[in-house]
Structure 1
Amino acid sequence: EVARIIYVNKLDRTGADFYRVVDQVEKVLGARTVVMVLPIGTEDEFKGVVDLLTRKSWIWDDSGDPEKYTIGDVPEDMVEKVEEYRERMIESAVEMDDAAMEQYLDGVEPDMETIKTCIRKGTRELVFFPTFCGSAFKNKGVQLILNAVIDYLPNPTEVKPQAEVDLEGVETGEMALVDPSAPFRALAFKIMDDRYGALTFIRIYSGTIKKGTTVLNSFTGKTERIGRIVEMHADSRNDVDVAQAGDIVAVLGMKNVQTGHTLCDENKPATLEPMIFPDPVISIAISPTDKAGSEKLGVALGKMIQEDPSFRVETDQESGETIIKGMGELHLDIKVDILKRTHGCEVTVGAPQVAYRETITEKTKDVYTHKKQTGGAGQFAKIDYIIEPGEVGTGFEFISKVTGGNVPREFWPAVQKGFEGSIVEGVLAGFPMQDVKVTLMDGAYHAVDSSAVAFETAARAAYRQTMPKASPQLLEPIMNLDVFTPEDHVGDVIGDLNRRRGMIKAQEAQVSGVRIKSEAPLSEMFGYIGDLRTMTSGRGQFSMEFSHYSSCPKNIAEDVIKDVRELKAAK
């Protein structure tokens, strides 16, 4: 529930149509717009905007300098349209105040401050969205939208206080009040590395910090020293000594902070609601083009992990290859480009690999005894257990129902550790297992030979023994697709999605085409953008995001398992 304003950009581009976009926003997004400015000219003749509130034109030259503009009267050929849209704006505004509405119905136009107050109220309550336009690249229309941020969007004291949670994500009942005198609470929402070092962008929810003070990272339990505090203005920065509740600043000197971490008063620790980052669904192998680039690549990847928590890096234990993982083909393409362009790392790139998962479909009761005696102290552990499918999305769940002391309580964590450590590698093709529940029912121990190591070893062996009996199944990532196509290509696009094992969810007719919402397996979507452009003569567009994991069809699962096993054998 975040208040928003709309900015229609790139009005200097060929085919740009402000009025069409406003109509699409209302029809497609169901958002009620309140037009605040009108464009002067179109495409390469776009010169500036008319501010409906003041009835003044803002016209820029083509230098791109945001300061080089003139404020004047409304162009004669636009007077009628300006009055029409201005009346609509005022009618929407006075809906938010009975007194202003009554005044307007009596034929008296409210003053400018009253209109602003009403628009601010409607924006904060999500009744409508003030709509602006311009060309950001040429700095045309940007000033008015910056003014609108101040005039219409809520300030930090007007938004709901942030709830504090424990490390499990459960709300504690405490709130981070927007108060400079309250205990310090801030969320690190972005990490950026530049020529001056690592910048940690933070939003301060409560309290105050000063340069040189020490704060606690509640996720790591370690303290961090605030080296410098800077206000960011695009590429420039302004050093400040103090920042307080409501501020967004960047700090230097942080060593172990990642996106989503909470920084707080070390004497009154707390955690803010963490940011959620989904698991990667695609991976590729990369390697430097020469041995000298290995160290440089490692440093670059370390910085990129800090900047983007949805980006992961692993080393293949068998081949030694560096594997990068992300949320889609485009995500990894961008990361490879950043490696080359920003960090100067030339790398060779392997074919994309889908991040499959494994699970089980049947409940299985089993027993395993680990016994190793070679003279002296040996190892002994016996466990009776049930392995069964867990609730979707739970990952791994462990429960102990042992009674009577047959397996002492101090060994339960070792059993859990053994099973939980094993599910990272499934029994079909070595993909991580998910949604598995293990219940420890009973067992036995030896007063001398039993230990935590023995019970952990027993659990790992029990996993390998029982998982094949529980009807393991391969899961594949399913993506949500949002495809736009001109109407005359709808049949081709839908037919192609069906061939990709896609499931059509909905079709929405739009002004210039059709939007198709569907689901499809990620494995079928490689290279889709090229095929879509070919089918639609370059006019098709699509976006894709992870939805869920689903059972993989038997024939496809068999092919995937076979390919993985052959690849491992070749290594």
Structure 2
Amino acid sequence: MLICGLALAVASSALCLSYHNKIGISGSELGKESAKTRNVSALVSSKAFVNPLIRQKESFTHLDDRFSHYSSTSKRHQQLGAYVEDLTALEAPLHRYRNIGIIAHIDAGKTTTTERVLYLTGVSFKIGEVHDGEAIMDYMPQERERGITITAAATTCFWKGGYRKVPQHRINIIDTPGHVDFTVEVERSLRVLDGAAAVFDGVAGVEPQSETVWRQANNYSIPRIAYVNKMDRPGASFEKCIEEMEQKLGTTPVPVFIPVGAASTFQGVIDVIQKKFYKFDKEKDSFDYTEAPVPENMQDELQHYRVHMLENAAQASEELLEQYLANGDLSDDQIRTGLRIMTLANRIAPVTAGSSLKNKNVQGFLDMVVDYLPSPCEANKMSVHTKEDESDDTSPSESKPSVRKFNETQLTFDTMNFDLPLAALVFKISHDTQIGTQAYIRVYRGKVSVGDVVYNPRTKKANKVQKLLFIHSNERKHLKTAHAGDIVSLVGVKDVITGDTLCNEKDQVLLESMEFPDPVISLKVEPVDGNELERMCDVFRKFMKEDPAFRMHMKPETQETIISGMGELHLDIIVDRMRREYNLPVNTGSPQVEFKETFVQPAHAEGRYVRQSGGRGQYGHVKIYIEPLEQGSGVQFQNSITCGAIPQEFIPAVEKGARQQLMEGLLAHYPVTDVRVTLLDGTFHIVDSSEFAFHTATTMAVRDAAREGGIKLLEPIMKVNVVCPLANFNTVRGDLLRRRGQVQTIRDGFGGVKEITATVPLQEMKGYITELRSMSQGRGFYTMEMSHYHSVPPVVQEKIVSSNLKPNK
């Protein structure tokens, strides 16, 4: 396997100095150690950090030779506008790729930052402003009208360095939403990214959704840098933001650029490594800067942050530590190498500061992306299932590929060998009226070309790739080939969903997929024109393929169409898209909370469906056992029959009957969850038994078990973060308690406000924004996200069942 060297992957030509030959680090070795330990002391003591790995030079020499070949056969494509024949020809070898996401709380400046990056790197000729509805990355009408990001948008740019020159790097950027209703977009983006840049509002600090997306990145062990934005705003505080990163995120922030001044006095930034002051013109919103001496009043602060930086960089290896202890300092290149190692090990988060709206220090932001975030060959390991020999067939009722046929291993693909078999992950689906279904993929191994046949282990079907597309926002450029490390979309692959693996049929693998939260709120919908019901349902099915957090179902007792999502805004966008994109207006009911049901205690039950009155009849008889499971277990089915009491051909009908009845509900028509149904015994008739009979007998048994075991309602509990003036604190806190809330933490926030974190039932949060504004004279605001499901109090359950829904007979 070709080895990726961390020291040589740092975006600085100076990293070829002899020093780095002494402390050469392989990306695969680092990934191995960091994945196992995530502990700096273990990393420092490991000889993997100090043994010379001379072969890393050979690996990168090989890559550069290959890159030179591509460059010699392909001229620069002006603004990516030409037909791109080979994505790897786009001016950067793989170890100079950066696949990153920009993550943050809503209104922290993610899209504004991305727009500046596109302008600064020459991808766009005009800066698109979010507040003017002209942002390139916010291309949906709903995004431009609301000034928020709704769907993750991808683009690519190239960077040769800002404050110092580096070899050209290719940066694939995914701009993610900041609103909690669209957290799923962040989740699936992070799954395919190698690094992330977290943007923080310099005034508001670390906000609730910032904590959420940071935790999501933690789940995938994604290295991060941090950008404190809006330093030109009144009330901005770099120090306070750094403090909150430590307290709320549990990370170690290491400032690489520190601001000079704040609000109206914000002048620019100091490079802590090079000890240089980059001064921007306060009167002009320009990217231009001048180098100036570090102000006298900033010398102590610079020294403070530099010592902090040196102490963290020195922990990366024994040689760096010895050098620092002996001399009290490290060279600039040694500092960057140490910080990069620590960042990739998820031990620190390098921090910069600036003002994207005023075009100040976007250069430093890009320099840090190149310097400290990983290339695809340095990315963390993932769970991969490799195919075993064919054995017993998978149950027909299973919708996912049988993991039992695959061996699970943790591995890092040899991304630099494009001749290996294909392995790619589908992380997003979209539908286009002109070209049809697009599957957005991250290629992890090998390559894929137009005309190739790719295999989907879930559907067990192979499809021919009709088109490969390079994505820039909502624009498309045709490709012929995409390689490991690339993020592209393809057309022609049918029946794909988010989380599918695409591979070669002869070399089957299953990449680690994604898990998404269940919806928490529902709406009744109906088309304005009653004749459009079927078309409306077809469109909703397309939306379900695009959005894993969106669901649609028909209520069996009323034949009403119900759509479910992560919040009112989420469903509002869905309904608006239906009207705009498909010219299909719909009427909606009031939002309803998505309750669930579960068993109170285990129960045995028996179901018998017999219709024998002469001729061919019906006969099905089952004995089952249903037991409650821990939260998050879902519905499980287990067949414990071993002696053929029920023929194998009828077992799928039993499972289908159980799942269908549980989905319809047993108390108030809400789906039952967190239970295991075990088929214990039964009988059959050699002539009269049928799938229908066993299906019906099982539904009868499940209803009987519900009467014996008892059913309780579960309600979604939200994590609510409220910010209010100190004068209104007691009133706001009391109101949360009145809503059955439980206060978790109380913090002092910026500017004399209180921050309250509480868990509150979603049912009690209806109309809360109006109440909060009234209690705080319009100065309070809140955010909320799904926390967990919990049992509904008996009094509340009785009210819900009796007033809202008819109980099952």
Equivalent pair of 1:364/1:470 in contact (CA under 8 Å): yes
**SS of equivalent residue, structure 1 residue 259:** coil
- Cα separation, partners in 2 of 1:381 and 1:100, compared to 1, 3 Å: closer
- CA RMSD, aligned part only? 3.4
- Structure 2 counterparts to residues 269-348 of structure 1, below 5 A: 269-290=508-529, 301-317=540-556, 319-339=558-578, 346-348=585-587
C-alpha displacement at 1:325, in angstroms? Answer: 0.5
What amino acid sits opposite 2:682 in the alignment?
Answer: G
Alignment-mate amino acid for residue 757 of structure 2: K
CA distance in 1, matches of 2:312, 2:779: 36
Is the aligned partner of 1:73 residue 2:297? Answer: no
8 Å contact from structure 1 (residues 62, 138) kept in 2: no
Change (3 A) 1:213 1:58: farther
Q: How does 1:171-320 map to 2 (within 5 A)?
A: 172-174=407-409, 175=411, 177-179=413-415, 180-193=418-431, 197=435, 198-234=437-473, 238-290=477-529, 301-317=540-556, 319-320=558-559
> What amino acid is the match of 2:247?
K
Structure 1 distance, partners of 2:531, 2:690, is: 46
Within 5 Å, which residues of 2 pair with 1:347-362?
347-362=586-601
Question: How far does residue 130 in structure 1 lie from its aligned partner after superposition?
Answer: 0.6
Q: Which residue of 1 aligns with 2:167?
A: none
Work out the CA distance in 2 between the residues paired with 1:155 and 1:559: 56
Q: CA deviation at 1:525?
A: 1.4
Contact 2:667 2:808 in 1 (8 A): no
Cα offsets for 1:95-127 (capped at 9, x unmatched): 434444444455574332111111111211222
CA change 1:286–1:126 in 2 (3 A) is same
Match of 1:549 among 777, 789, 800: 789
Q: Following the alignment from structure 1 to structure 2, what is the Cα–Cα distance between the partners of residues 274 and 211?
A: 25
Higher strand share: 1
SS at match of 1:424: helix
Deviates more, 1:334-343 or 1:208-217: 334-343
Matches within 5 A, 1:422-461: 422-461=661-700
| Counterparts of 1:568 and 1:444, CA distance in 2 | 27
The one-letter amino acid of 1:281's match is: V
Q: What SS does the aligned partner of 1:5 have?
A: strand
Contact 2:606 / 2:704 at 8 angstroms: preserved in 1?
no
Superposed displacement of residue 326, structure 1: 0.9
Distance change in 2, residues 1:477/1:57 (3 Å)? same
User: Match of 1:39, SS?
Assistant: strand
Q: Is the 8 A contact 1:417 1:456 kept in 2?
A: yes
TM-score normalized with structure 2 length: 0.63
Say which of 277, 280, 300 aligns to 1:59. 280
Q: Determine the structure 2 residue equivalent to 1:154.
A: 374
Q: Please report how far the alpha carbon of residue 284 of structure 1 lies from its aligned counterpart in structure 2 after TM superposition.
A: 0.9
2:270 to 35, 46, 50: 50
For structure 2, which runs of at least 5 residues remain unmatched after alignment?
Answer: 1-220, 387-400
How far apart are residue 381 of structure 1 and its match? 2.8
Structure 1 residues 46 and 273, CA gap change in structure 2 (3 angstroms): same
Deviations 1:469-510 (A, max 9, x none): 332222222223333444443322321121111123333445
1:518-529 correspondence runs (5 A)? 518-529=758-769
| 1:193 CA displacement | 4.9
Q: TM-score, normalised by structure 1?
A: 0.87
The CA deviation string for residues 200-252 of structure 1, in whole angstroms up to 9 with x for no partner, is 33222111112332212222223333333344445555544322222223334
CA shift, 1:457, in A, is 2.2
Distance 1:103 1:250, change over 3 A: same
**2:345 alignment counterpart:** 125
Instruction: Note closer, same or farther for the CA distance 1:253–1:398 as it changes in structure 2 (3 Å cut).
Output: closer
CA–CA separation in structure 1 for the residues paired with 2:323 and 2:602: 71
Structure 1 unaligned spans of 5+:
none
Are 2:236 and 1:16 aligned?
A: yes
Query: How many pairs were matched up?
Result: 567
**Equivalent residues of 1:60, 1:140 under 8 A apart:** no
Letter in structure 1 aligned against 2:338:
C
Contact 2:421 2:446 in 1 (8 A): yes
- Aligned-residue sequence identity (percent) comes to 37
2: CA distance, partners of 1:441 / 1:194: 49
Of 380, 387, 403, the match for 2:619: 380
CA contact (8 A) 2:668 2:807 kept: no
Cα 1:69–1:286 shift into 2, 3 Å:
farther
Indicate the residue corresponding to 1:116 in structure 2: 336
Q: Distance in 2 between matches of 1:195 and 1:16?
A: 45
Amino acid at match of 2:369: V
1:448 aligned partner, one-letter code: V
Matches within 5 A, 1:465-476: 465-476=704-715
**2:666 aligns to what SS in structure 1?**
coil
Q: What letter corresponds to residue 554 of structure 1 in structure 2?
A: P
Aligned to 2:384: 164
Contact 2:669 2:807 in 1 (8 A): no
2:775 alignment partner AA: M
Amino acid at match of 2:383: A
Q: Which has the higher contact order (CA 8 A, sep 6+)?
A: 2
Contact 1:13–1:44, Cα closer than 8 Å, also in 2: yes
1:202/1:251 contact within 8 Å kept: yes
- Deviation, structure 1 residue 294: 6.3
Aligned-residue offset at 1:432: 1.4
1:529-570 deviation digits (Å, cap 9, x = unpaired): 33334333444443333333322222221221123336999x
Residue identity matched to 2:634? G
Looking at structure 1, the residues matched to 360 and 579 of structure 2 have their Cα atoms a distance apart, in angstroms, of 33
Q: CA 1:563 to 1:256, structure 2 compared with 1: closer, same or farther past 3 Å?
A: same
Question: Matched residues in 1 for 2:233 and 2:335: separation?
Answer: 32
SS at match of 1:393: coil
Contact 2:464 / 2:492 at 8 angstroms: preserved in 1?
A: yes
Report SS of the residue matched to 2:495: coil
Q: Which of 657, 663, 674 is equivalent to 1:418?
A: 657
Give the match for residue 535 of structure 1. 775
Question: Equivalent residue of 1:181, what SS?
Answer: coil
SS at match of 2:571: helix
Instruction: Mark the CA change 1:286 to 1:137 in structure 2 (over 3 Å): closer, same or farther.
Output: farther
More moved, 181-190 vs 313-322? 313-322
C-alpha distance in 2 between matches for 1:353 and 1:398: 29
Report the Cα offset of residue 129 of structure 1: 1.0
> Which deviates the most, 410-419 or 285-294?
285-294
